[in-house]
Structure 1
Amino acid sequence: MTFEEKPEGNGSLVDENQLYLGEKHQAKEKPIANGKAKLSARQEANAKCDLPRKSLHTYIWQEVQRHNQETDQWLVINRKVYDVTGWADRHPGGRQVLNHYAGEDATDVFRAMHPDPDIVRLYLKPLLIGELAPEEPNQERNKNSQLVEDFQELRRTLETMNMFNANLGFFFLHLAQVLILEALAWVIVWHFGSGWLITIFISFLLVVAQAQGSFLQHDMGHLSIFKKSKWNHLMQTFVMAHLKGLSAKWWNNRHFQHHVKTNIYPKDPDIDVGPLFVIGELQPVKYGKKKIKYIDYEKQHLYFCTVGAALLMPVYFNLDSILVMYRSRDWEDIAWVSSFYIRYFITFGPFYGIFGTMVLIYLVKLLESPWIAYVTQMSHTAMKMSKEENRDWFSTQVLATCNVEQSLFNDWFTGHLNFQIEHHLFPTMPRHNYHKVAPLVKSLCAKHGLQYVNKPILKAFGDILRALKKSAALWMDAYYRHPETCCKCA
């Protein structure tokens, strides 16, 4: 591929849709003094690529690792050193994703998060500032080089087996499932009326549609299902915003951080849930030492069962999504999310009225919420949580995730997120292939002495509560027994 050609494919960092996002970002800036708009991201990258480049500098790992600040970000991909400081604000996956890997080797995470790296190289080339010195290892010295090489070989094997090719029919069947359930709910109300029993029944249908819609948009956020990335983006936006009423961009920003630094505090937003809960081993002690007690954390496992899981979707996620859209003034996203409410008012308003339709919307979200909460938390809450340890990609994901035993029900109920280990190692792999690669991943874990955790689904649900109780005990010990400390000391 040459840089003069128009790239084809669907990269999750800089594909056609994301190039559009970058150009949109530039368009919002003020014009320069001569009155011309700034070059688009694509034009700027092409212009830089045409400039003559001096011979590359060589760096040792110690020097690269010093550039790990928000205002000074270097990273290494395939032994090449890139300065991404100026690009970070335009990164479609969010600047935090790049900042989380500043000063580190990002080879495996780069490959994991981008279905077609050739497209991203269009942007990498002008950011290239050097390469590792010949005597330097491929990764930081604290990493297991043999494990890294074995994992990279596994990925190459899976690529030759076409495990990253998506079955378009599979995902259209799931989309059809969601649309049929929603249409069926309307037909039932139209035919039988809006009595209590009918309302309960259609709420159940809509809850299933909403939950399966969550899993489907999750697929669209990761995968290269369509050849043209704009269709992938449009489909994710349609499912997430129009069918579920949440911002797709908000979700992507959070979710990409979760994937690149899973269970790393405070880089993973999914575990930085204070002050609502304290989880892991670090956050409870931190809150305890600072005498922070927003709720009675001793009973947080009970709050999770009765209140927390139920309010995750209708309150926490909805408010966070709205806040992000408002702060960014993203009118396109706001319009898409508004279409969700407009559709509900048009569909169910004639039967329930405005107030009744709003009650129906939040009743469905309230009932869906525990489903999503348990499915998403069962694979991470009871696993290793730590501060940044700069582990290799394979170890980081295996230690922070677990699987739930496969069955037809578990696969459907969780949207195949019962294969979280495989999903986290290979985020761009379509979920219908997880079960095929699981034995190979398990074998690599055994070779390097890493535990491949696979649980029954009820045990996985129970481990959420047991983990919350364990974290509560750590908070209590720090809160009641630790001497009073000031915030600066803590």
Structure 2
Amino acid sequence: MGSVTMKIEEKHAGNGSLVGKSQLYIREQHQANHKPAANGKAEGFVKQVADGNGGVPRKSLNLYSWQEIQRHNQEADQWLVINRKVYDITGWADRHPGGRRVLNHYAGEDATDVFRAMHPELDIARLYLKPLLIGELAPEEPTYERNKNSQLVEDFQELRRTLETMNMFNANLGFFFLHLIQILILEALAWLMLWYFGNGWPITICISFLLTISQAQSSFLQHDTGHLSIFKKSKWNRLMHRFVMCHLKGLSANWWNYRHFQHHVKPNIYPKDPDIDMGPLFLLGDLQPVKYGKKKIKYIDYEKQHLYFYMVGLPLLMPIYFNLQSMQVMYLRKYWGDIAWVSSFYIRYFVTFGPFYGIFGTMLLIYLVKFLESPWIACVTQMSHIPMKMSREENRDWLSTQVLATCNVEQSFFNDWFTGHLNFQIEHHLFPTMPRHNYHKAAPLVRSLCAKHGVQYVNKPMLKAFGDIVRALKKSAALWVDAYYET
């Protein structure tokens, strides 16, 4: 590192520390591969931390400026900052349980709030961070990037501490157990009706209705198990998530995790949020339609996308788009555990309904239920994001990133049940590990903080929220038309 040397004095006891050895190896690699030069902003300066024996240097860390950190934002060179500490996550990204893309989305940025938001078990996550530490922000550097409102960030962090003190992140096991019982009763009732009354058309319609409700509520429960620490031990959370997502839903848990976590960390941001990349079928927001229009791209008549949304988007989201994508990802990435669990979903249906409908009839029943569930899930998941701001990366603070890209739907018993409490989308996005039975308690505090800092907090009736999906698609279609036919 030129005139700058990194001094590391490891304390050895017995056979040494695995974490300490990992840290030493990574820092040696950092010395070899990264050669920051001192530039007057404390880049490459050395901080010596005294131990308790008369000020003898025990460990030294490089000090970095934001300018240096922001240069390391590529897939092959990723640094990020958490609580003023600088981490080189390049080599770790492929082993990240949440997927490498989630990390890459924050490369070169402060990730303090997103790290806290996305990890229900912080102690475990911090163990993985230790060997990746390469330095810290120089003393004269602000804690957050200069474009961010530091007072807003600190107020949000204080809000989170308040909610933690109020035990808002503690899950009520009985709440989720009752939702699981509801799902199992609906499925059992469907089979009992078929067994008792036979497989005539009226009964088939009734059991399809029951199974549709069961599948929709399973979608909301798997969403909970994918985010929360419902149980005290991680293995039970993972098992519950696989049971609900793979066995009850017939979709890959790993596929959902990697896709959904990207959406959470950078919602409505091109190209980081996979949920807003629905081309070539739909063009969303203000940027994508103009881009397609200027390039004279017309795979479909996008001017009518708000109309064919009813015929394509609503009924085919679950049975075609999600189902095929889940199967493709499981096969290509060789998720053998997920494949076994998803197979149990189909085996259960064939064992339960096969004697009445046969193999072909049972497959028709499965896809009829997914077809009926699809409009429900499509409306609930899209009403909170498609009508909201979509942009390229602007490196906003965590609160602004989430609130500007999401909206709430008014609370009522039906709205809560129908949406699986995802009508509180703002609170869910700000605090993904908060159990949904506490969203309504956090909402007034979040609204107050948004009002203090002039951040728009949108809360609307459900029917308006559904209508806004189509109105947003129509607006995007008009932008495409203008750009496409521009001379």
Deviations 1:387-426 (A, max 9, x none): 0000000001010000000000000000000000000000
Q: Distance in 1 between matches of 2:249 and 2:21?
A: 41
CA RMSD of aligned residues (A): 1.3
Q: 1:434 maps to which residue?
A: 439
2:485 matches 1:480 = yes
Structure with the bigger RCO (C-alpha within 8 Å, sep 6+) is: 1
Question: Helix, strand or coil: the match of 2:60?
Answer: coil
Kept in 1, the 8 Å contact 2:23–2:132? The answer is no
Q: 2:384 maps to which residue?
A: 379
Range with greater deviation from structure 2 (353-362 or 114-123):
114-123
2:22 matches 1:48 = yes
Displacement after TM superposition at 1:187 (Å):
0.4
Kept in 1, the 8 Å contact 2:65–2:141? The answer is yes
Displacement after TM superposition at 1:45 (Å):
4.7
2:459 matches 1:454 = yes
Q: 1:24 maps to which residue?
A: none
Displacement after TM superposition at 1:47 (Å):
4.5
Gaps of 5+ in 1: 1-42, 484-490
Deviations 1:69-111 (A, max 9, x none): 0000000000000000000000010000000000000000000
Q: 1:62 aligns with which of 52, 63, 67?
A: 67
Q: 1:264 maps to which residue?
A: 269
Q: Distance in 2 between matches of 1:45 and 1:462?
A: 54
2:204 matches 1:230 = no
Deviations 1:21-56 (A, max 9, x none): xxxxxxxxxxxxxxxxxxxxxx96575258898400
Displacement after TM superposition at 1:239 (Å):
0.5
Give the ranges of 4+ consecutive aligned residues of structure 1 lying more than 3 Å apart after TM superposition.
43-47, 49-54
Q: Distance in 1 between matches of 2:451 and 2:226?
A: 31
Question: Helix, strand or coil: the match of 2:276?
Answer: coil
Q: 1:279 maps to which residue?
A: 284
Q: Match of 2:155, as an amino acid? A: D
2:172 matches 1:198 = no
Q: 1:118 aligns with which of 95, 120, 123?
A: 123
**Alpha-carbon spacing, 1:46–1:349, altered in 2? closer, same or farther (3 Å):** farther
Q: Distance in 2 between matches of 1:48 and 1:381?
A: 44
Displacement after TM superposition at 1:384 (Å):
0.4
Question: Helix, strand or coil: the match of 1:58?
Answer: strand
Deviations 1:268-316 (A, max 9, x none): 0000111110000011011111111121111111111122110000000
Q: 1:163 maps to which residue?
A: 168
Displacement after TM superposition at 1:116 (Å):
2.2
Q: 2:321 maps to which residue?
A: 316
User: Identity over aligned residues, as a percent?
Assistant: 82
Q: Match of 1:217, as an amino acid? A: Q
Deviations 1:235-288 (A, max 9, x none): 110011001100010001000000000100110000011111000001101111
Q: 1:339 maps to which residue?
A: 344
Q: Distance in 2 between matches of 1:450 and 1:260?
A: 18
Q: Distance in 1 between matches of 2:335 and 2:311?
A: 34
Question: Helix, strand or coil: the match of 1:270?
Answer: helix
Range with greater deviation from structure 2 (110-119 or 469-478):
110-119
Displacement after TM superposition at 1:354 (Å):
0.6
Q: 1:488 maps to which residue?
A: none
Gaps of 5+ in 2: 1-16, 28-57
Superposition map of 1:380-399 within 5 A: 380-399=385-404
2:213 matches 1:239 = no
Q: 1:471 maps to which residue?
A: 476
Q: Match of 1:48, as an amino acid? A: S
Superposition map of 1:5-84 within 5 A: 45=19, 47-48=21-22, 54-84=59-89
Q: Distance in 2 between matches of 1:414 and 1:56?
A: 48
Q: 2:31 maps to which residue?
A: none
2:299 matches 1:294 = yes
Q: Match of 2:285, as an amino acid? A: G
Which has the greater radius of gyration? 2
Q: 1:443 aligns with which of 448, 470, 485?
A: 448
Superposition map of 1:213-228 within 5 A: 213-228=218-233
Displacement after TM superposition at 1:119 (Å):
1.2
- Please give the TM-score of this superposition, normalised by the length of structure 2: 0.89
Q: How many residues align?
A: 440
Q: Match of 1:277, as an amino acid? A: F
